[in-house]
Protein backbone atom coordinates (compact mmCIF):
# COMPACT_ATOMS: atom_id res chain seq x y z
CA UNK A 1 0.00 0.00 0.00
CA UNK A 2 0.95 3.60 -0.58
CA UNK A 3 -0.82 5.85 1.93
CA UNK A 4 -1.22 9.63 1.99
CA UNK A 5 -2.88 12.25 4.13
CA UNK A 6 -4.77 14.80 2.09
CA UNK A 7 -6.98 17.86 2.25
CA UNK A 8 -9.94 17.99 -0.12
CA UNK A 9 -12.90 20.34 -0.11
CA UNK A 10 -12.14 21.36 3.45
CA UNK A 11 -11.84 17.79 4.75
CA UNK A 12 -8.78 15.91 5.95
CA UNK A 13 -8.47 12.22 5.17
CA UNK A 14 -6.17 9.26 4.75
CA UNK A 15 -6.12 7.87 1.25
CA UNK A 16 -4.72 5.02 -0.82
CA UNK A 17 -2.75 5.84 -3.95
CA UNK A 18 -4.40 3.89 -6.76
CA UNK A 19 -4.71 4.15 -10.52
CA UNK A 20 -6.70 7.29 -11.13
CA UNK A 21 -5.58 9.21 -8.04
CA UNK A 22 -6.24 8.92 -4.32
CA UNK A 23 -8.99 6.67 -2.99
CA UNK A 24 -10.43 7.76 0.38
CA UNK A 25 -10.44 5.40 3.35
CA UNK A 26 -12.54 5.36 6.50
CA UNK A 27 -9.70 7.07 8.41
CA UNK A 28 -8.88 10.75 8.79
CA UNK A 29 -5.75 10.21 10.91
CA UNK A 30 -2.76 8.10 9.85
CA UNK A 31 -1.57 7.38 13.39
CA UNK A 32 -4.99 5.96 14.27
CA UNK A 33 -4.86 3.70 11.21
CA UNK A 34 -1.40 2.44 12.18
CA UNK A 35 -2.36 1.97 15.83
CA UNK A 36 -5.42 -0.06 14.79
CA UNK A 37 -3.27 -2.34 12.64
CA UNK A 38 -5.77 -1.72 9.87
CA UNK A 39 -5.49 -2.76 6.23
CA UNK A 40 -7.71 -0.06 4.76
CA UNK A 41 -9.78 -0.52 1.65
CA UNK A 42 -11.12 2.22 -0.62
CA UNK A 43 -14.25 3.89 0.71
CA UNK A 44 -15.05 5.80 -2.46
CA UNK A 45 -13.95 6.59 -5.98
CA UNK A 46 -10.42 7.94 -6.57
CA UNK A 47 -9.92 11.69 -7.03
CA UNK A 48 -7.16 14.30 -7.09
CA UNK A 49 -7.06 15.98 -3.67
CA UNK A 50 -6.60 19.72 -3.26
CA UNK A 51 -3.24 19.07 -1.62
CA UNK A 52 -1.17 16.44 0.14
CA UNK A 53 -0.15 16.98 3.75
CA UNK A 54 2.60 15.43 5.82
CA UNK A 55 1.46 11.79 5.93
CA UNK A 56 1.39 11.78 9.73
CA UNK A 57 2.17 13.85 12.80
CA UNK A 58 4.53 11.59 14.75
CA UNK A 59 4.65 11.50 18.51
CA UNK A 60 8.43 11.20 18.23
CA UNK A 61 10.93 11.73 15.43
CA UNK A 62 14.35 10.25 16.19
CA UNK A 63 17.11 10.81 13.65
CA UNK A 64 20.31 8.82 13.27
CA UNK A 65 23.43 10.94 12.77
CA UNK A 66 26.63 9.86 10.99
CA UNK A 67 25.19 6.61 9.65
CA UNK A 68 26.81 6.55 6.18
CA UNK A 69 30.34 5.47 5.40
CA UNK A 70 30.60 8.28 2.83
CA UNK A 71 30.77 10.84 5.65
CA UNK A 72 34.46 10.03 5.82
CA UNK A 73 34.86 11.00 2.15
CA UNK A 74 33.51 14.54 2.58
CA UNK A 75 34.81 15.20 6.09
CA UNK A 76 38.30 13.83 6.82
CA UNK A 77 37.83 14.79 10.48
CA UNK A 78 34.73 12.63 10.84
CA UNK A 79 34.95 9.90 13.43
CA UNK A 80 32.89 6.87 12.51
CA UNK A 81 30.74 5.97 15.52
CA UNK A 82 30.99 2.61 17.23
CA UNK A 83 27.29 2.66 18.06
CA UNK A 84 24.30 4.64 16.73
CA UNK A 85 23.94 8.33 17.56
CA UNK A 86 20.49 9.97 17.75
CA UNK A 87 18.88 13.37 18.07
CA UNK A 88 15.21 14.43 17.95
CA UNK A 89 13.16 16.50 15.53
CA UNK A 90 10.21 18.20 17.27
CA UNK A 91 6.56 18.44 16.12
CA UNK A 92 6.87 22.14 15.19
CA UNK A 93 9.43 21.17 12.51
CA UNK A 94 7.08 18.86 10.57
CA UNK A 95 6.01 20.12 7.14
CA UNK A 96 4.29 18.50 4.19
CA UNK A 97 4.80 18.35 0.42
CA UNK A 98 4.90 21.83 -1.05
CA UNK A 99 5.04 23.57 2.33
CA UNK A 100 7.73 26.25 2.52
CA UNK A 101 11.02 25.76 4.29
CA UNK A 102 11.20 29.08 6.13
CA UNK A 103 14.73 30.38 6.72
CA UNK A 104 14.36 32.21 10.07
CA UNK A 105 17.10 34.85 9.69
CA UNK A 106 19.46 36.14 6.98
CA UNK A 107 22.34 34.58 8.93
CA UNK A 108 20.85 31.06 8.98
CA UNK A 109 22.99 28.45 7.24
CA UNK A 110 20.19 26.11 6.17
CA UNK A 111 21.56 22.80 4.87
CA UNK A 112 19.83 19.95 3.04
CA UNK A 113 19.82 16.27 4.16
CA UNK A 114 17.85 13.56 2.36
CA UNK A 115 16.93 10.67 4.67
CA UNK A 116 15.03 7.40 4.40
CA UNK A 117 12.77 7.15 7.44
CA UNK A 118 10.74 4.25 8.79
CA UNK A 119 7.42 4.38 10.63
CA UNK A 120 6.81 2.24 13.69
CA UNK A 121 3.76 0.01 13.41
CA UNK A 122 3.82 -1.87 16.69
CA UNK A 123 4.95 -0.82 20.18
CA UNK A 124 8.64 -1.64 20.63
CA UNK A 125 10.45 -1.90 23.95
CA UNK A 126 13.71 -3.81 24.43
CA UNK A 127 13.39 -5.40 20.99
CA UNK A 128 16.20 -7.63 19.72
CA UNK A 129 17.52 -6.93 16.23
CA UNK A 130 16.37 -10.36 15.04
CA UNK A 131 12.71 -9.43 15.53
CA UNK A 132 12.92 -5.71 14.94
CA UNK A 133 11.48 -5.55 11.42
CA UNK A 134 8.20 -6.90 12.76
CA UNK A 135 7.72 -3.49 14.41
CA UNK A 136 8.10 -1.50 11.17
CA UNK A 137 4.93 -0.34 9.40
CA UNK A 138 6.51 1.29 6.37
CA UNK A 139 8.83 3.93 4.95
CA UNK A 140 8.78 7.59 3.97
CA UNK A 141 11.16 10.46 3.23
CA UNK A 142 12.36 12.93 5.83
CA UNK A 143 14.22 16.11 4.89
CA UNK A 144 16.45 16.82 7.88
CA UNK A 145 16.95 20.52 7.15
CA UNK A 146 19.65 21.79 9.51
CA UNK A 147 20.61 25.31 10.65
CA UNK A 148 24.38 24.76 10.78
CA UNK A 149 25.12 28.17 12.31
CA UNK A 150 23.10 27.11 15.36
CA UNK A 151 23.81 23.36 15.38
CA UNK A 152 27.59 23.68 15.19
CA UNK A 153 27.89 26.52 17.68
CA UNK A 154 28.21 25.21 21.24
CA UNK A 155 26.69 21.86 20.12
CA UNK A 156 23.15 23.33 19.98
CA UNK A 157 21.88 20.35 18.00
CA UNK A 158 18.29 20.48 19.27
CA UNK A 159 17.82 24.13 18.30
CA UNK A 160 19.77 23.76 15.06
CA UNK A 161 17.60 20.87 13.90
CA UNK A 162 14.22 22.31 14.86
CA UNK A 163 13.32 25.69 13.38
CA UNK A 164 9.68 25.66 12.31
CA UNK A 165 9.20 23.62 9.13
CA UNK A 166 12.70 22.09 9.12
CA UNK A 167 11.38 18.50 8.87
CA UNK A 168 9.43 18.07 5.62
CA UNK A 169 7.94 14.58 5.60
CA UNK A 170 6.32 12.55 2.82
CA UNK A 171 5.02 12.53 0.22
CA UNK A 172 3.50 9.22 1.32
CA UNK A 173 4.09 6.15 3.44
CA UNK A 174 5.04 3.01 1.55
CA UNK A 175 4.26 -0.18 3.47
CA UNK A 176 6.96 -2.80 4.02
CA UNK A 177 5.78 -5.09 1.25
CA UNK A 178 6.30 -2.28 -1.29
CA UNK A 179 9.97 -1.85 -0.32
CA UNK A 180 11.33 -5.29 0.58
CA UNK A 181 15.02 -4.24 0.67
CA UNK A 182 15.33 -0.88 2.50
CA UNK A 183 19.07 -1.48 2.83
CA UNK A 184 19.57 -0.99 -0.91
CA UNK A 185 17.70 2.20 -1.84
CA UNK A 186 19.10 5.05 -3.93
CA UNK A 187 18.67 8.57 -2.52
CA UNK A 188 19.26 12.02 -3.99
CA UNK A 189 18.80 15.73 -3.32
CA UNK A 190 18.27 18.42 -5.96
CA UNK A 191 18.35 22.20 -5.46
CA UNK A 192 16.85 24.11 -8.38
CA UNK A 193 17.24 20.95 -10.44
CA UNK A 194 20.96 20.56 -9.67
CA UNK A 195 21.92 17.32 -7.91
CA UNK A 196 23.56 17.97 -4.56
CA UNK A 197 23.46 14.50 -2.98
CA UNK A 198 23.48 10.98 -4.40
CA UNK A 199 23.93 7.85 -2.33
CA UNK A 200 22.49 4.52 -1.30
CA UNK A 201 21.32 3.04 1.96
CA UNK A 202 23.78 0.23 1.22
CA UNK A 203 26.30 2.66 2.82
CA UNK A 204 24.62 2.42 6.23
CA UNK A 205 26.88 1.80 9.19
CA UNK A 206 23.91 0.58 11.24
CA UNK A 207 20.91 -1.02 9.49
CA UNK A 208 17.34 -0.66 10.68
CA UNK A 209 17.25 -3.68 13.03
CA UNK A 210 20.37 -2.42 14.83
CA UNK A 211 18.87 1.07 15.17
CA UNK A 212 15.65 -0.36 16.66
CA UNK A 213 17.49 -2.60 19.09
CA UNK A 214 19.70 0.30 20.21
CA UNK A 215 16.83 2.77 20.66
CA UNK A 216 14.41 0.44 22.41
CA UNK A 217 16.88 -0.42 25.13
CA UNK A 218 16.24 3.14 26.33
CA UNK A 219 13.10 4.53 24.66
CA UNK A 220 9.77 2.86 23.96
CA UNK A 221 8.70 3.39 20.36
CA UNK A 222 4.98 3.73 19.76
CA UNK A 223 2.87 3.24 16.61
CA UNK A 224 3.30 6.26 14.36
CA UNK A 225 6.73 7.23 15.67
CA UNK A 226 9.27 7.98 12.94
CA UNK A 227 12.94 6.97 12.95
CA UNK A 228 15.22 8.43 10.31
CA UNK A 229 18.37 6.68 9.16
CA UNK A 230 20.87 9.45 8.37
CA UNK A 231 22.04 11.16 5.19
CA UNK A 232 24.76 10.34 2.64
CA UNK A 233 27.63 12.65 1.67
CA UNK A 234 26.97 15.84 -0.24
CA UNK A 235 25.65 18.30 2.35
CA UNK A 236 26.47 21.99 2.00
CA UNK A 237 28.51 22.55 5.15
CA UNK A 238 31.39 20.36 3.93
CA UNK A 239 31.65 21.98 0.50
CA UNK A 240 34.40 24.48 -0.18
CA UNK A 241 33.13 27.09 -0.31
CA UNK A 242 30.17 26.20 1.91
CA UNK A 243 26.80 26.25 0.16
CA UNK A 244 23.38 26.66 1.77
CA UNK A 245 19.71 27.01 0.86
CA UNK A 246 18.54 30.50 -0.04
CA UNK A 247 15.10 32.12 -0.31
CA UNK A 248 13.78 31.44 -3.81
CA UNK A 249 15.32 27.97 -4.03
CA UNK A 250 13.29 24.82 -4.63
CA UNK A 251 14.64 21.66 -3.04
CA UNK A 252 13.62 18.09 -3.87
CA UNK A 253 14.64 14.90 -2.12
CA UNK A 254 13.91 11.49 -3.56
CA UNK A 255 14.17 7.83 -2.68
CA UNK A 256 13.86 4.91 -5.05
CA UNK A 257 10.56 3.14 -4.42
CA UNK A 258 9.08 6.00 -2.38
CA UNK A 259 9.02 9.09 -4.58
CA UNK A 260 9.96 12.76 -4.47
CA UNK A 261 9.33 15.41 -1.84
CA UNK A 262 9.60 19.03 -3.03
CA UNK A 263 9.52 22.23 -0.95
CA UNK A 264 10.15 25.88 -1.79
CA UNK A 265 12.53 27.93 0.35
CA UNK A 266 11.34 31.33 1.62
CA UNK A 267 12.62 34.10 3.87
CA UNK A 268 11.19 34.32 7.37
CA UNK A 269 12.37 37.84 8.12
Dist CA 220 CA 66 (whole Å): 22
**How many CB atoms are located within 10 Å of the residue 33 CB?**
23
pLDDT at 222: 98
pLDDT at 152: 86
Low-confidence ranges of the chain (pLDDT < 70): none
DSSP letter (8 states) at residue 30: H
pLDDT at 79: 80
- Of 120, 165, 175, 142, residue with least CA distance to 65: 142
- Of 263, 50, 242, 32, residue with least CA distance to 164: 263
pLDDT at 155: 83
pTM of the model: 0.96
pLDDT at 75: 79
pLDDT at 3: 98
Answer whether 142's CB lies under 8 Å from 173's CB.
no
pLDDT at 253: 98
How many CA within 13 A on the CB side of residue 56?
32
Q: Which residues pair with 120 in a beta bridge?
A: 136
**How many CB atoms are located within 10 Å of the residue 193 CB?**
7
Answer whether 89's CB lies under 8 Å from 54's CB.
no
Strands 2-8 and 51-53: antiparallel
User: pLDDT tens digit string along 154-192?
Assistant: 889 999 999 999 999 999 999 999 999 999 999 999 999
- Of 76, 31, 75, 81, residue with least CA distance to 211: 81
User: pLDDT tens digit string along 6-43?
Assistant: 999 999 999 999 998 999 999 999 999 999 998 999 99
pLDDT at 38: 86
Amino acid sequence: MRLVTYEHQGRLGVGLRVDGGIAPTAYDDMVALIRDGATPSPAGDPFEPDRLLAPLRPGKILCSGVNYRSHGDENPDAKMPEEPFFFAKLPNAVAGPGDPIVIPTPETKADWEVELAFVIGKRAKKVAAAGAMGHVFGYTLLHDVSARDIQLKDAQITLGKNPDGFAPLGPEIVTKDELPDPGNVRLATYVNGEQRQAGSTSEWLFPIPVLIEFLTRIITLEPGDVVSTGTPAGVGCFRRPELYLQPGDEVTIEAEGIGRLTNPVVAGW
